[in-house]
Amino acid sequence: MAESTSVAWSEQDVADLTAKVGALRASMARVIIGQEDVVELLVTCLLAGGHALVEGVPGLGKTLLVKSLAQATDMQFRRVQFTPDLMPSDIVGTEILEEDQSTHQRVFRFQQGPVFTQVLLADEINRAPPKTQSALLEAMQERSVTFAGHTHKLPRPFFVLATQNPIEQAGTYPLPEAQLDRFLLRIDVVYPTEDEEVLMVSRTTQAGLQDAEPAMDVETLLRLQQLVRDIEIGDHLVRYATRLVRATRPSETTVEAVKKHIGWGAGPRAGQALVLASKARALMQGRLAVTREDIGAMLLPVLAHRVLRNFEAEADGIAIADVLQSLRNEIKVP
């Protein structure tokens, strides 16, 4: 994750920017019924400048969630439906041969793919083969695309939201760990409550479905992302976040649940993600300093896709959330 230069923020700057965050959440709430925790995590991920892996069964509004976020931030939005026959060039682009009108010579011109946008929805990303999945790796990490020896910068901000269906396994290709590690958060979309589902059915079967109204512009979003990096965090909390990540590694941990149920722990990038996500959550809560509660709240979405269960845990039905809760209970703030 890139370093950024600290900026001197006035109280008015901070007040104006945090008000924009509230307006963004309110705009999305007019379209998304319920799912407050999901919206909270999605906005947190956006403010932290990371990418999100959104997981849930079909019909829970994952696509609508992403589309409304793009509308509320007034960003360019594109959707790619991942399928087994999708090729890397279908995502990043390709070169086409055309004739120069002035010289009448044939030249190659790079035709940009749908990745050249600000919000990219990679729908059902696990349906595409690894070769196509890997086409997103450079874009997600470097915010650029290299084709035929030339590097093409992507727009800023660049935000990838990938969805996957946890039910269907036939015809799917699990994401490699290297790519999973590029997602800042994994967000689980769960079934709505009965009242929320009644309201959802009622509202979506009437005419005149509304879109999310723009609540901030791109320049404001970039300033918010800068402000997130300037949020204060004590050295003892940085060490706490690092100890939590290191405690997920079976060879180093003192947590029995990890030794028994985890096959592979998280790498150093998880510590970076945990601190950055905690900073974004602090800002979402209207604070300019990270607390222990911020780190605890972001532990599961940051580590759920970075920590791998062993065979015994899978056979016994032990969830990652249970193991991480044990870890959180045992690892203390220095």
Q: Which helix (H) or strand (E) holds 25?
A: helix 11-29
∠ Cα 308 250 328 (to 5°) = 80
Question: Confidence class of residue 239 from pLDDT cuts 50, 70 and 90?
Answer: very high
Do the Cβ atoms of 324 and 307 come closer than 8 Å? yes
pLDDT of 247 = 92
Alpha carbon 258 to chain centroid, angstroms = 25
pLDDT of 151 = 84
State the DSSP string of 64-115: HHHHHHHHHTT--EEEEE--TT--THHHHEEEEEEE-TTT--EEEEEEE-TT
User: Residue 97 and residue 88: Cα distance in Å, rounded?
Assistant: 19
Whole-number average pLDDT of the chain: 85
Question: Confidence class of residue 16 from pLDDT cuts 50, 70 and 90?
Answer: confident
Q: What is the pLDDT of residues 79-126, one digit of tens each?
A: 988 888 888 888 888 878 777 777 777 777 778 888 999 999 988 888
Decide which of 33 and 284 is more confident: 284
Q: Where are the beta strands (DSSP E) in the chain?
A: 52-55, 77-81, 93-99, 106-112, 119-123, 144-147, 150-153, 159-164, 185-188, 262-264, 308-309
Q: What is the pLDDT of residues 36-57, one digit of tens each?
A: 888 899 999 999 999 999 988 7
Q: What is the pLDDT of residues 321-331, one digit of tens each?
A: 988 998 988 88
Q: What is the pTM of this model?
A: 0.87
pLDDT of 28 = 85
Residue length, the chain?
A: 334
Q: What is the pLDDT of residues 117-168, one digit of tens each?
A: 999 998 888 888 888 888 887 788 888 888 777 888 888 899 999 888 777 6
pLDDT of 207 = 66
pLDDT of 7 = 67
User: Residue 159 and residue 53: Cα distance in Å, rounded?
Assistant: 11
